[in-house]
Amino acid sequence: MATVRARSESVADAAARSAATQTGVGSARVPWFLILPLTLLVVWTVAVDRQWVTQGIVPSPVQVAKSWHRWIFGGPGLGLSPYSGTWLANVMYSARRVLEGFLLAAVVGIPLGLFIGWNRLVARVVDPSIQLLRPVPITAWLPFSIAVFGIYDASALFLIGLGAFYPIVVNTTHGVRDTNLLLLRAARMLGAGPGTILTKVVFRSALPSIFTGLRLGIGVAWTAVIVAEMIAVKSGLGYVLWDAYYVGRMDICVATMFSVGLLGFASDRILQLIARWFLRWRALEAVA
């Protein structure tokens, strides 16, 4: 058994070594990712300062930062500005809609994708319709959605759910079809029936693809929530964005854009962390 043990230790060594070289390449804790944003920030500041852009339309970074701060924490004195201290409330509106719509899309999309990938009959019946509807952008669904669901949360939920549904169902289907035939045979040979195979083999094997779909889906969900809130409901970041545009508050518009970007980024990172935990067996594969 000694040789076998040595073998597994060498795998661990390789992992340690590759981790070491990875930090080595980036060299000495330079925050490389900050270089580009900082450069853009400088260009932006200079452009506004030197009046390269039309005055009064593009706000300066400082102006945006001040308005954003006030929007988050509120300002001194009487809150004449409608945006004073309302940031968190609006973030919560949008985040809740994204979460609800996204979960709805996942709850429908993952099982449906499993069945489309697994069963040829289901694929023949359902898949063509999905592929036909998929090219219709969610923005095109707006009038229909408002007409059917009205200017309520249901309308936003429909648009977000629909937008996130497509990448989730398509990637799940793809993952199921990619399942190794040998693993299916192994499972059958060990006495597994269709139910066990679907949940313990096919689903597990499709999980990396499913997470790809979920990550794409949550991105679409943030796009959809802004579109929906701009028109179909009266709260949330999208509503603020459109409202601020109407009253000429470009500083708030820009602050909203940053907010959406950061929230989208954060939700993707959370999904990535969840995926990493579920797919920890795969991280080991990359090392070995």
Partner 1 sequence: MPPVVELVDVWKEFVTGRRRVEALQAIDVAIARNEFAALLGPSGCGKSTLLNMVAGFDAPTRGRALFNGEPVRAPDPRRGVVFQEPALFPWYTVRDNLAFGPRTQGLTATQYDPKVQLFVDQVGLTGFESHYPAELSGGMKQRVGIARVLVMEPEVLLMDEPFGSLDAQTRSVMQELLLAVWERHHQTVLFVTHDIEEALLLADSVFVMTARPGRIKKRLAVDLPRPRALEVTTSPYFNEMKRDVLALIREESLRAAGER
Longest dimension (CA), the chain: 78
User: Can residue 191 be called a binding residue for partner 1 (CB under 8 A)?
Assistant: yes
Q: What is the per-residue binding string for partner 1 in 206-245, x denoting contact by CB under 8 A?
A: -x--------------------------------------
Which residue number, 5 or 50, has a Cβ lying nearer to partner 1?
A: 5
The type of residue at 68 is: W
CB of 4 to partner 1, least distance (A): 6
CB of 283 to partner 1, least distance (A): 9
Quote the CA–CA distance of 139 and 224 in Å, as a whole number: 8
Q: Which window, 44-52, 54-62, 106-114, 198-206, contacts partner 1 (CB under 8 A)?
A: 198-206
Looking only at residues 243 through 282 of this chain, which bind partner 1 when binding is defined by CB under 8 A?
A: 279-282
User: Can residue 14 be called a binding residue for partner 1 (CB under 8 A)?
Assistant: no
DSSP 58: S
Looking only at residues 129 through 188 of this chain, which bind partner 1 when binding is defined by CB under 8 A?
A: 180, 182-183, 185-188
Which residue number, 7 or 50, has a Cβ lying nearer to partner 1?
A: 7
DSSP 60: P
User: Can residue 196 be called a binding residue for partner 1 (CB under 8 A)?
Assistant: yes
Which residue number, 202 or 253, has a Cβ lying nearer to partner 1?
A: 202
Which residues, other chains included, contact 38 with Cβ-Cβ below 8 Å and sequence gap of 6+?
none
Site for partner 1 (CB under 8 A): how many residues? 32
Residue whose entry in the numeric block shows the structure tokens 């359902």 = 126
Give 122: exposed, middle or buried? Use CB within 10 Å, 0-12, 13-18, 19+.
middle
CB of 108 to partner 1, least distance (A): 24
Quote the CA–CA distance of 263 and 97 in Å, as a whole number: 13
Q: Which of 17, 134, 200, 276 binds partner 1 (CB under 8 A)?
A: 200
The type of residue at 158 is: F
User: Can residue 285 be called a binding residue for partner 1 (CB under 8 A)?
Assistant: yes
Q: Which of 34, 62, 148, 288 binds partner 1 (CB under 8 A)?
A: 288
User: Can residue 2 be called a binding residue for partner 1 (CB under 8 A)?
Assistant: no
Which runs of consecutive H residues, i.e. helices, occur in 137-249? Answer: 142-149, 153-177, 181-189, 194-196, 203-231, 237-246
Q: How many helices (H) and strands (E) does the chain have?
A: 13, 0
Which residue number, 132 or 189, has a Cβ lying nearer to partner 1?
A: 189
DSSP 136: S
Quote the CA–CA distance of 7 and 174 in Å, as a whole number: 35
Quote the CA–CA distance of 187 and 166 in Å, as a whole number: 30
Which residue number, 63 or 205, has a Cβ lying nearer to partner 1?
A: 205
Q: Which of 189, 246, 247, 277 binds partner 1 (CB under 8 A)?
A: 189
CB of 84 to partner 1, least distance (A): 51
User: Can residue 19 be called a binding residue for partner 1 (CB under 8 A)?
Assistant: no
Query: Quick one: CA dihedral 251, 254, 260, 261, positive or negative?
Result: negative
Residue whose entry in the numeric block shows the structure tokens 């270089």 = 35
Report the interface residues with partner 1, using CB under 8 A. Answer: 1, 4-5, 7-8, 11, 180, 182-183, 185-193, 196, 200-201, 204-205, 207, 279-282, 284-285, 287-288
